[in-house]
Amino acid sequence: EFEFDQNKLHKLAYSMRKLLSHGGLLKFVHGGDYHAFNPDVVCTLKVAVRSGNYEDYRLYADLVTQRPVTNVRDMFAVNTEQKAIAIY
Query: What's the pTM value of the predicted model, to 2 decimals?
Result: 0.61
At residue 36, the pLDDT reads 86
Total domains in the chain come to: 1
At residue 63, the pLDDT reads 94
At residue 33, the pLDDT reads 82
Helix, strand, coil: what percent of the chain each, to 5? 50, 0, 50
Does residue 87 lie in a domain region?
A: no
| Residue numbers in the chain where pLDDT is lower than 70 | 23-25
Does residue 80 lie in a domain region?
A: no
At residue 50, the pLDDT reads 97
Does residue 63 lie in a domain region?
A: yes
At residue 25, the pLDDT reads 65
DSSP 5-61: HHHHHHHHHHS--PPPP-TTSSS--TTSS--TT-HHHHHHHHHHHHH--HHHHHHHH
Does residue 88 lie in a domain region?
A: no
Does residue 84 lie in a domain region?
A: no
Domain carrying residue 62: 2-75
